[in-house]
Structure 1
Amino acid sequence: MPRPLPLTEHCADPLARAEHVCLGVSPFNSHFTVDRIADLARWAMSAFHGFHFFVPDGPSAFTLEALGYDPVRAAQKAQRQGNYTRNKIVRALEQVCSPDPHTLILDSAALEADSAYLGLLSEAHHRFATDPEFAEQCLGATGWVLDRRLPEGEHPTRDQLRSAVRYFLAELPMFVGTVAVAGVESSVFAYHQRVAFLERLYRGELSWRPLPGQGFVVLEQAVPERVE
């Protein structure tokens, strides 16, 4: 089972309240096997009153465009990978006896008609366009994503960052306000990696701050106890 660590002090209370957790699953990331997703689901079911999986499937096309794919091919590839990722989640949830796995997946199809998500997405784009410091922080986080997709020794250009940042902006509503999207009073977003942008966000160092009751936890894999 994973061990959740609050990203900042602000995140400890939403974790302790244990009302809801949103588990991020990145397309094109081999970390998320069916078995690992099933473990995440078991942990979520045992530790929280409710949970969802978040899959940024459609926005992953923006990352592909930044890497040189034309928009049509990028969208097709993102859709295929999104289907593959959703299928893994469904298979994992079926292992833990979820009655209707699809209702627990927040993907592009589920979010494109969600007024809370769309409102937060509009706010993310507005702040990116009008707040230079916020924009630079978003571009820095995008560089962290792209660096892992480029050949060793290469770094993203400014144009690549501005193209790919649309992926990060599409994720931001979930970091800022899963509570609104899921309709709960408290929630933590859970992922297995730290991102400097999010540490600043949850320490209140950016112009945009998480909604009340919103937290973030870093998932560390628990080390099995050694049997002597």
Structure 2
Amino acid sequence: MLRPLPLTEHCADPLSRAEHVCLGVSPFNSHFTVERIADLARWAMSGFRGFHFFVPDGPSAFTLEALGYDPVRAAQKAQRQGNYTRNKIIRALEQVCPSDPRTLILDAAVLETDPAYLGLLSEAHHRFATDPEFAAQCVGATGWVLDRRLPEGEHPTPDQLRSAVRYFLAELPMFVGTVAVAGVGSSVFAYHQRVPFLERLYRGELSWRPLPGQGFVVLEQAVPERAE
């Protein structure tokens, strides 16, 4: 059983409104099995009026480039992994959802033509280029991501961070404004891990703030209580 925890007090209202949830599914993350994705879909269908899965497949090439892949090979590997991830989501949704699974997936192919997403992406890059504090926080979040992909004891170099931060900037529009991308009045982005950057974002400590009605929840696996 999944239990959503609002990331900050700001996130409690969008969760209580239960209008929409966006479920993040990271490529190259073994956490997301078909069974776990199906569980996520069941949870979303039982608690919200609408939902989508977000797959940052195209931007994952930036992370691969930071890890040493040349751009062409990185793009090819990201595409293969994106196809694999989408297929897992489709198989999971076919088990539990009567809708066409493809209409419930927000991936690079969908978002690269979405005006709301592109507008937010442009804003993310503008703030990164003009706001040193915002940029530093984005780079810090990128380091958190890269640390988990590097061999034990290694830490990302400045060049690696500059390359990989493009992945994080591509995700930011969904954290700031899924409401705009999905065209809903309120939404929560749901993921199974806390990210310090997002706690600061939702506490209003950064120059960029989430759009009205936007929240974030951390999904925890609730342990059923045993009968006495």
TM-score interval, smaller chain: over 0.9
Distance 1:226 1:147 in 2: 38
Q: In structure 2, the residue corresponding to 1:226 is in which secondary structure? A: coil
Residues 212-221 or 96-105, more deviating: 96-105
Residues 162-171 or 90-99, more deviating: 90-99
Structure-to-structure mapping, 1:4-23, within 5 angstroms? 4-23=4-23
Residue equivalent to 1:36: 36
Q: In structure 1, the residue corresponding to 2:180 is in which secondary structure? A: helix
For each residue in 1:68-95, what CA deviation from the matched residue of structure 2 results, as whole angstroms up to 9, or x when unmatched?
0000000000000000000000000001
Q: CA deviation at 1:227?
A: 4.5
Distance 2:146 2:98 in 1: 35
Distance 1:98 1:110 in 2: 21
For each residue in 1:7-39, what CA deviation from the matched residue of structure 2 results, as whole angstroms up to 9, or x when unmatched?
000000000000000000000000000000000
Distance 2:166 2:3 in 1: 31
Distance 1:30 1:163 in 2: 23
For each residue in 1:50-70, what CA deviation from the matched residue of structure 2 results, as whole angstroms up to 9, or x when unmatched?
000000000000000000000
For each residue in 1:163-216, what CA deviation from the matched residue of structure 2 results, as whole angstroms up to 9, or x when unmatched?
000000000000000000000000000000000000000000000000000000
Distance 2:65 2:30 in 1: 20
CA RMSD of aligned residues (A): 0.7
Distance 1:98 1:36 in 2: 18
Residue equivalent to 1:175: 175
Structure-to-structure mapping, 1:1-228, within 5 angstroms? 1-227=1-227
Residues 162-171 or 92-101, more deviating: 92-101
Point out where structure 2 has 5 or more consecutive residues left out of the alignment. Answer: none
Q: In structure 1, the residue corresponding to 2:225 is in which secondary structure? A: coil
Distance 2:191 2:91 in 1: 20
Q: CA deviation at 1:222?
A: 1.2
Q: CA deviation at 1:225?
A: 2.7
For each residue in 1:113-156, what CA deviation from the matched residue of structure 2 results, as whole angstroms up to 9, or x when unmatched?
00000000000000000000000000000000000000000000
Distance 2:64 2:130 in 1: 26
Distance 1:54 1:111 in 2: 10
Distance 1:209 1:195 in 2: 16
Q: In structure 2, the residue corresponding to 1:120 is in which secondary structure? A: helix
Distance 2:54 2:225 in 1: 31
Q: In structure 2, the residue corresponding to 1:28 is in which secondary structure? A: coil
Runs ≥4 in structure 1, deviation > 4 angstroms?
none
Distance 1:143 1:103 in 2: 33
Q: CA deviation at 1:99?
A: 2.3
Identity between Structure 1 and Structure 2 (%): 92
Q: In structure 2, the residue corresponding to 1:36 is in which secondary structure? A: helix
Q: In structure 2, the residue corresponding to 1:45 is in which secondary structure? A: helix
Point out where structure 1 has 5 or more consecutive residues left out of the alignment. Answer: none
Q: In structure 2, the residue corresponding to 1:217 is in which secondary structure? A: strand
Q: TM-score, normalised by structure 1?
A: 0.99
Q: TM-score, normalised by structure 2?
A: 0.99
Residues 89-98 or 175-184, more deviating: 89-98
Q: CA deviation at 1:224?
A: 2.5
